[in-house]
Amino acid sequence: MLASLSSVNRAIVSCARCPRLRAYCRRVAREKKRAFRDWEYWGKPVPGFGDPRARLLVVGLAPAAHGANRTGRMFTGDSSGAWLYEALHRYGFASQAASRARDDGLELTDCYIVAAVRCAPPGNKPSRTELGRCRPFLAAELRLLSRRRVVVTLGRVAHESWLKASGWWTTLAPRQRPPFAHGAVATLPDGTRLISSYHPSRQNTNTGKLTRAMWHTVFRRVRQILMDVDAETAR
């Protein structure tokens, strides 16, 4: 069993369990995008990022081909990351609102970011087998992030991946599993609050399926929950 987040991250970066994903990430890193032709792409599985003592866990789908697969840090260097870090900064979880490179000085406070899959998948669609191969990394992170109180899942795949990695998928009867719906809040038997959200992908943000107001409401709710936890602890 991996004993620290550092050891989990090393195992993630060196993982070669999914040949299709590894080949795709290497090809993208080699061919690059014209706008990033001067970059040396990361091109490897992307580890989690954030505060080891975090009470907020954000679960995404996978690195973007020219985002985290390029920069080597979750949600860094693409439009989804721009939405995420702006919101995290607004509500006090990130030191800055922009995410350009893994050495840009951005730090997270009380927040940790992970994903259902750690390699960029073609078409942003990992297979069920690839999700299963990657899930032990998420399960290991959940064991080590013992202070988490709120989980935000970005998209249905991330939502179900977290339920499976945390054990609730099998522990709860199907009718008791929290369904995915934007803005839905569920309380798990251990007290964890689960909030589901549409993913801030261009497909959702450019079409208006996810608006900035809807997005901010999710993280404002997170902040209020944690403030309530603090108030309860202080009594």
Q: Can you give the pLDDT of all 235 residues of the chain as single tens digits?
A: 678 999 999 999 999 999 999 999 999 999 999 999 999 999 999 999 999 999 999 999 999 999 999 999 999 999 999 999 999 999 999 999 999 999 999 999 999 999 999 999 999 999 999 999 999 999 999 999 999 999 999 999 999 999 999 999 999 999 999 999 999 999 999 999 999 999 999 999 999 999 999 999 999 999 999 999 888 887 7
Query: What is the domain-level CATH number for residue 122?
Result: 3.40.470.10
53 φψ region: left (φ > 0), alpha (ψ -120 to 50), beta (else):
alpha
Which residues, 6 or more positions from 37, have their beta carbon under 8 angstroms from its beta carbon? none
Helices (H), the chain: 5-13, 19-31, 68-71, 79-90, 128-144, 156-166, 168-171, 202-205, 212-234
**Cα 159 to Cα 188: distance, rounded to the nearest angstrom:** 13
CB-based burial, 180-213: b 16+ in 10 Å, e otherwise? bebeeebebeeeebbbbbbbbbeebbeeeebeee
The strand order across the sheet containing 185-187 reads 49-50, 111-115, 56-60, 150-154, 193-197, 185-187
Other C-beta atoms closer than 10 Å to the C-beta of 162 total 25
pLDDT digits (tens, 9 = 90+) for 161-217: 999 999 999 999 999 999 999 999 999 999 999 999 999 999 999 999 999 999 999
Please tell me the total count of domains within the chain.
1
172's tokens: 């709860």
Q: What is the largest CA-CA distance in the chain?
A: 58
Residue 1: the pLDDT is: 62
- Structural domain range at position 93: 5-234
